[in-house]
Amino acid sequence: KMMFDCVDKWRQNGQLDRLRAIKTLCIESRNPNEQLENIKLYCSSARQGAVFFSVAGGKLSEGFDFTDYMARLVIVLGVPFPNTQDMKLQAKKSALSSGVKVSNRRQRLSFDDFYVSKTMRGVNQIIGRAIRHANDFGAALLVDSRYCFDRQKRLLSSWAHKCVQQFTAEDNVETELSRFFKRNESRLNFVNKFDDQSAQEALKAIKAEFATEAPAPPQKNSDQPPRNGFNRIPKKPFPN
For residue 222, name the pLDDT band (cuts at 50, 70, 90).
Answer: very low
Q: Across residues 40-59, what is the average pLDDT?
A: 89
Model pLDDT for residues 103-124, shown as the tens digit of each residue: 565 567 788 999 999 999 999 9
Give 69's contacts (C-beta < 8 A, 6+ positions apart): 46, 47, 191, 192, 195, 198, 199
DSSP 53-81: E--TTSHHHHT----GGG-SEEEEES--P
Residue bearing the bigger pLDDT, 145 or 207: 145
- Separation CA 43–CA 39 (nearest Å): 6
Cα gap 27→34, rounded to integer Å: 10
Q: Which residue has the higher pLDDT, 100 or 29?
A: 29
CB 177 within 8 A of CB 136: no
pLDDT score at 201: 61
Contacts of 133 (CB under 8 A, 6+ apart): 67, 240
